[in-house]
Amino acid sequence: MCLSKQNNIADSVARVTDTFKSGKTLPLAYRKKQITAVRALFTENAEAIYDAVYKDLHKSRTETFLAEIQININDCDKHLNSIDDWAAPRYHNTDVINLPAVTATQPEPMGVALIVACWNYPFALLAGPLIACIAAGCTAVIKTASEEHANASMALWCELLPQYLDNEAYVIVSGGADALEGLLEQRYDVIFATGSPGLGRMVHKAATKHLTKTVLELGGKSPVYVHRDCNLTIGARRIMWGACAFNNGQTCVRPDHLFIDSTIADSFIANLKKEAKAMFGEDAQKGNTYNRMAKSKGHFERVANILKTDAKYVVYGGNSDAADWYIAPTILDFGTDAEAFHNSAAMQGEIFGPIIPILRVDTPEVAYKSILSREKPLSLYGFTNNKKIQTEMLKLPAGTTQFNDVVSHVLNPDAPFGGVGNSGMGAYHGQAGFDNFSHMKTVMVNWSANDLAARYPPYSAMDKRLLRLVFREWPDTMINVLNNPAKVFIVGAALAAGAAYYMHFMKR
């Protein structure tokens, strides 16, 4: 059952706050039990998830398996296998003035989290941050994504989550903007939100009231540069998959627009068309492999209007059917007309649909200039093996950069995923998620044995010389030796042996 009324929201936040303060979520055994329960939620309810996602987004079972079910099972397994290491103290060298103290960073839970989910991956984008939150030892209030976009999936979340997780520590809340506004009036220790830059600003503004940490996974226009050395077949196949096939282009890291080297543009566009037909058939609407837009009238009309406004540049697709929530896989070719490209409807914001606008360029620098003129993207893609171009592209600001493929980088559980600037702040996936729901508390354990008298006033000339000697930056090799008892013993023994040899033989 989901909560939505303001008084229920306040009571729920108070309840999970009390649970956190009780220390219930601190033991690793408790955290593992809850993560195991999340895993069971997916393994025991796969059929219901397939049905809900199909109703909302017309996703195939294979795509739902990969992007909504198995990815979360893998995430649970990753956290279960790694939580002991991630939660353990992380030891650091101790400086000379504090030796022989022990210095470490101890991860501790941030506290109470608010997790704001998004509709385009209705299970993965809620489960991912939730698993990291649980692993870190936090309690959480979870805000479902918009029911308008993913009603069946959110209803299933509201049914299942209370059955599997500890209701004293994890509460799910449904509703629209009013529910979110009510949630943001409460106090949390960390807020994790997935959505548009507009949502990010709203969340970040609310968080400043209590100086609450925010992790924002947003979006933007992720550009692609295709160089002349690109593998035309594989490059076109991967871009068509990421831009149109995978969730019908409703992915925050989808390849949003292309800059193609003019010398290969005709061939590359021909390959894009070929791959579209191979994936979806001659008529994508009649096939059973093509997804649909979310069932939101406003969202659908916005994307459909791009087709109408930029109709003169359509070289493939271009049609839509509101009754079927269908937008055809579409290619827009602006030739070398940079002005028309940048002023087009397709380039005025994140497309979030199966439309690929293309500008032909003579040099990669034209692409770089365009990329630098816009907000920092969540992802940047380059199709080239040219090391010089790869080096130059790595200088361009972006949340992530991937060469010779698209989207697949988010599937790597060991690679932190997050944006920068307008595309977000913070990261998650694997240890990065655990760390962002944790406070890294520095701990130093000193001994009475290291009570250096020279640190206390009054300071003699000898005290000052000694302080200048020890309180400076020492070479890492020396610090590493001094922080290793075995090495200290060996060095000490060697010095003692050397001194004994000198005293015995050299003084005779």
pLDDT for position 427: 95
Map residue 484 onto helix, strand or coil.
Answer: coil
Residues in the chain with pLDDT < 50? 4, 507-508
Map residue 380 onto helix, strand or coil.
Answer: strand
Q: Kindly state the helix (H) or strand (E) to which residue 201 belongs, with its residue range.
A: helix 197-207
Exposure on the CB side of residue 246, measured as CA atoms within 13 A: 21
**Closest Cα partner for 222 from 51, 361, 374, 112?**
374
Q: What is the dihedral of CA 380, 261, 403, 370, to 10 degrees?
A: -20
Class of residue 129 by CB neighbours under 10 A (exposed 0-12, middle 13-18, buried 19+): buried
Long-range pairs of 460-468 with CB within 8 A, sequence gap ≥ 24? none
The answer, yes or no, to whether the previous bond of 107 is cis (omega within 30 of 0) is no
Residue 94 forms beta bridges with which residues? Answer: none
pLDDT for position 284: 96
Asked whether the whole model's pTM tops 0.75, one would answer: yes
What's at 218, amino acid-wise?
L
Class of residue 274 by CB neighbours under 10 A (exposed 0-12, middle 13-18, buried 19+): middle
Class of residue 281 by CB neighbours under 10 A (exposed 0-12, middle 13-18, buried 19+): middle
Q: Give the ranges where 416-482 is alpha helix by DSSP (H).
A: 431-436, 461-470, 476-482
As separate numbers, helices (DSSP H) first and strands (DSSP E) second, the chain gives 19, 18
Active-site residues: which are they? 217, 252
Are the C-beta atoms of residues 248 and 353 closer than 8 Å to each other?
yes
The CA-atom distances, in angstroms, between 409 and each of 67, 401, 404 are 13, 9, 11
Q: Taking the CB of residue 334, how many other CB atoms lie within 10 A of it?
A: 22
Residue 141 forms beta bridges with which residues? Answer: 114, 171
φ/ψ of residue 60, rounded to 5 = -70, 160
Residue 193 forms beta bridges with which residues? Answer: 116, 216
**Closest Cα partner for 123 from 162, 167, 71?**
71
